[in-house]
Structure 1
Amino acid sequence: MKKKWPVFSKLFIMVVAATVLLSPGALPGTASATEGGGGAYPNGAEDFMTGALPPPGTYFKNYLTYYTASDFKDGNGNDLIPDFDLKVTADVLRFIHVTNCKILGANWAVHAFIPLTYQDVKSGGDSDDRFGLGDIIVNPIILGWHTKNFHVTAGLDIYIPVGTYDEDRLANLGRNYWTFEPVLAMTYLNDSGFEVSAKLMYDFNTENDDTNYESGQEFHTDLTIGYHINKSWAVGIGGYYYDQTTDDEQDGVKVGSDGFEGRVFSIGPVAQYSYRNMSFTLKWQSEFEARNKPEGDKFWFNLVYAF
Structure 2
Amino acid sequence: MKKTSSIFLAALSASVAAPSALAVNGHYSLGIEGLGAAAAPPQGLYYRGYLVHYEVDSFNDGSGSSVPGNNSGTVSALAHRFIWMTDKTVLGADYGMETIIPMLDIEFDLDVAGGSRFDDDGIGDLFVGPIILGWHGSQWDITFAGGHWFDTADFDVDNPASVGKGYGTTMLTLGGMWHFDEEKRWNISALSRYEIKTKQDDTGVTPGDSWLVEWGLGHRLNNGLELGLVGYNAWQLEADEGAPTTDKAERHAIGAEAGYLWATAGVMLKGAYYHEYDTQAGGLKGLESDGNTLRLQLTKFF
**TM-score (structure 2 length as normaliser):** 0.86
SS at match of 1:153: strand
Q: Is 1:150 matched with 2:140?
A: yes
1:64 and 1:91 in contact (8 A); partners too: yes
Aligned partner of 2:275 in structure 1 is: 286
Of the three residues 111, 115, 129, the one matched with 2:119 is 129
Shift of 1:76: 2.6
Of the three residues 221, 226, 234, the one matched with 1:229 is 221
Aligned partner of 2:45 in structure 1 is: 58
Q: Which runs of 4+ in 1 moved over 3 A?
A: 33-36
Aligned partner of 1:37 in structure 2 is: 15
2:13 and 2:161 in contact (8 A); partners too: no
Greater displacement, 185-194 / 205-214? 185-194
C-alpha distance in 2 between matches for 1:230 and 1:110: 33
Shift of 1:81: 5.7
TM-superposition CA deviations, 1:121-152 (whole Å, max 9, x none)? 12120111111000111110110000001101
Amino acid at match of 2:173: V
Taking only aligned residues, the RMSD between alpha carbons, in angstroms, comes to: 1.5
C-alpha distance in 1 between matches for 2:95 and 2:261: 25
Aligned partner of 1:297 in structure 2 is: 292
2:216 and 2:229 in contact (8 A); partners too: yes
C-alpha distance in 2 between matches for 1:180 and 1:272: 30
C-alpha distance in 1 between matches for 2:208 and 2:234: 13
Amino acid at match of 2:73: L
% identity of equivalent residues: 27
Amino acid at match of 1:41: Y
Q: Where does structure 1 lack aligned partners over 5 or more consecutive residues?
A: 1-32
Q: Where does structure 2 lack aligned partners over 5 or more consecutive residues?
A: 1-10, 17-25, 282-287
C-alpha distance in 1 between matches for 2:233 and 2:198: 22
C-alpha distance in 1 between matches for 2:233 and 2:83: 25
How many residue pairs are counted as aligned between the two chains? Answer: 270
Label 1:161 to 1:138 Cα distance change in 2 as closer, same or farther (>3 A).
same
Shift of 1:52: 1.5
Shift of 1:244: 0.4
- After superposition, residues 45-124 of structure 1 pair within 5 angstroms as 45-80=32-67, 82-124=69-111
SS at match of 1:207: coil
Shift of 1:43: 0.3
